[in-house]
Amino acid sequence: MAISDMRRQYAKGSLQDTDLTADPFSLFDRWLNDAITAEIPDPTAMTVATVDATGQPSQRIVLLKDVSEAGFVFFTNLGSRKAQELGQNPKVSCHFPWFFMERQVRVCGVVEKLSFKENATYFLSRPKDSQLAAYASEQSKPISSRELLHTQFAQMKQKFANKTLPAPDFWGGFRIVPHQIEFWQGGEDRLHDRFEYNRDENGSWNTQRLMP
């Protein structure tokens, strides 16, 4: 079958005006809890899109580690491509692809760096091997082989075998502070339900239905 002929109906639900909440975070929490309860793979996975100095966009998948009315939090090596691009241009978009539930959430906003205290609190809560991996890998930098990566990891593991790793200054979190959040629910015959929340100047949220 040609991929152009691949299609199916979306009929797992709908999103109506009466389902909306006063702010998008309440609805997001509900959908995230639905995804967790449904045991879909990696419910906290989100695609983060950044733009480099030439205007070239770049995307990658990270894990959501906190969400509140302040925004959406993820962590990364501060020397990584995404961190470098966010340092040049704080505008960002992220996307939650809950395809198993025929749902998507799109977020647009700007990032702010977390404090060292916030970074340290989360870093020290990670399993030790995950902490070691952060030290062993200069994220986004070229490396000659996977064997070398494993060697660097083993060296770090030996070095800190009986020690607590300090929170690194080259690793930390970003909070995406949104000004726009869209909720998408698949619908039959491609008549999907889309609602967009937009934050106005006084911090209130306005909603509008979008055509699919």
Task: Give catalytic residue positions.
Answer: 190
Return d(Cα 115, Cα 174) in angstroms, integer: 9
Residue in the structure block whose two tokens are 């990270």: 62
Angle formed at CA 175 by CA 169 and CA 179, multiple of 5 degrees:
155
Distance of alpha carbon 175 from alpha carbon 32, whole angstroms: 18
Element (H, E) at 120: helix 116-123
- Closest C-alpha to 119, from 62, 44, 170: 170
* Three-class DSSP category at 94: strand
Check: CB of residue 107 under 8 Å from CB of residue 176.
Answer: yes
Amino acid at 155: Q
